[in-house]
Structure 1
Amino acid sequence: MLLSIAGSAHAGNQKEEALADSVRIALSRAITDSAPPKPQFDDINERIKYLHWLGEMSDRLKKKIPDSQVRLEFLSTAWYEARRAGLDPALVLGLIQVESAFRKYAVSPVGAHGYMQVMPFWTRVIGDGERSKLFHMQTNLRYGCSILRMYIDMEKGNLYLALGRYNGSRGRPEYPNAVLAAWKKWEFEHSPRDEPVLSQK
């Protein structure tokens, strides 16, 4: 049964666990690339699709992020970081809706920070230890997308288990069901689907 997610947030509580050196190094490299989120398109049709996506998502997000400039910066960054990590931008937006309700400075009772409710220990494990950077838009989205991608890979593509691991509730249905329901609300008819269908069981 899907949880009602209107007006609620499920604070992230990723668990610190031993990572293989190769995984830790790959994550560290992923979050230290400081390239700004500027989508590049070789195909004009892909650029047109992106601009349509940006416009539609901006309309949907107006109530949550009223400032148009901040909203467009957030959406372009979320799209960039999602695609960079091989994720559907709609999935990332759904996760953010559930985790923080699009609040940049959200802090959970267990200390998770920002849009994607990243636990501060990650800044020590794969970053420079400065937890305050988790309130920086691109940094937070980059950490969150990179960590989710890692969990999907760890769970061999099982999105249900990966989402549970992201939230620190692996094996329980409430959080994955909430994110999957929110994901549907952010789907875009012309959104590119580069990822294979992921198992939800």
Structure 2
Amino acid sequence: MPELRSGLFALLLLAMAPAWAGAQREEALSANVASAMRRSVTDANAPRLVFDDAREGQAWLAEMSRRLERRIPDRWMRERLLTAIQYESTRAGLDPQLVLGLIQVESGFKKYAISGAGARGLMQVMPFWVRHIGTSEHNLFELTTNLRYGCTILRHYLDLERGSLFRALGRYNGSLGRAEYPNLVLGAWRAHWQWQPPAALRTAKLESAGARN
């Protein structure tokens, strides 16, 4: 029962608040970490869907677009955003559906959101990151730049916490050790964004793998 009450409370908070203002804490970075993160955020490749099977990519885009339609009515904008999320998440070794859940909680998919602490954009990135790993030309309200920073930062926290998603999410929000924020993100991920390829595509992939073996 306590777990059920905790889950219901998290969902209630999510329904009441369209965004959970992020506030990553400014911490010293080693030279190697800063250099690796700098390389990541300055990669200017154009976003594209990254799937082994193009049909799976189109199925993912269509389904995620349907789920996002209420928040972003314009189809072109939805698909542009989703393509960038999938690309930047995959590039950072993150689950795109998890990142969708994080964006829902952090900004409610508002591109120009600003928190009371000054975090900016879709993934609520703190401006000090530009000083540490970016350049003065980087605009945190620009869609792909914000996603690239956000995914790079979350990847850094995951590595720092040795793969603990719960602790990495706490660091991302500046609330390490508290359960509210990780529970909100994980709840949004599981309730709204989890996805598997259609059964026909999964069967085709298995048959293709069997044929190669």
Shorter-chain TM-score above 0.5: yes
Which amino acid in structure 2 is aligned with residue 78 of structure 1? I
Q: Select 2:189's aligned residue among 183, 188, 191.
A: 183
**Normalised by the size of structure 1, how large is the TM-score?**
0.90
Residues 147, 105 of structure 1: alpha-carbon distance in 2 compared, 3 angstrom cutoff = same
Q: State the Cα deviation string for residues 73-126 of structure 1 (Å, max 9, x = none).
A: 000000000000000000000000000000000000110000000000001110
Indicate conservation of the 8 Å contact 1:112/1:119, yes or no: yes
Q: Does 1:155 align with 2:161?
A: yes
Distance in 2 between residues matched to 1:171 and 1:130, nearest whole Å: 34
**Normalised by the size of structure 2, how large is the TM-score?**
0.85
- Residue 48 of structure 2 is matched in structure 1 by 38
What is the CA distance between 1:129 and its match in structure 2?
3.1
- Residue 88 of structure 1 is matched in structure 2 by 95
RMSD over aligned Cα, in angstroms? Answer: 1.3
- Residue 140 of structure 1 is matched in structure 2 by 146
SS of the residue corresponding to residue 139 of structure 1 reads: helix
- Residue 194 of structure 1 is matched in structure 2 by none
Once the two structures are superposed, the pairs formed by residues 162-181 of structure 1 within 5 Å of their partners are: 162-181=168-187
Unaligned runs of 5+ in 1: 192-201
Which amino acid in structure 1 is aligned with residue 144 of structure 2? Q
Percent identity reads 55
Indicate conservation of the 8 Å contact 2:26/2:128, yes or no: yes
- Residue 103 of structure 1 is matched in structure 2 by 110
Q: Does 1:12 align with 2:22?
A: yes
Q: How many residues align?
A: 187
SS of the residue corresponding to residue 135 of structure 1 reads: coil
Q: Which 4+ stretches in 1 moved above 3 angstroms? A: none
SS of the residue corresponding to residue 134 of structure 1 reads: coil
Whichever of the two has the greater Rg, that structure is 2
Indicate conservation of the 8 Å contact 1:90/1:188, yes or no: yes
Which amino acid in structure 1 is aligned with residue 185 of structure 2? V
- Which has the larger helix fraction? 2
Q: Does 1:57 align with 2:38?
A: no
Q: State the Cα deviation string for residues 9-68 of structure 1 (Å, max 9, x = none).
A: 211100010111100000000000101012355x4xx21111100000000000111111
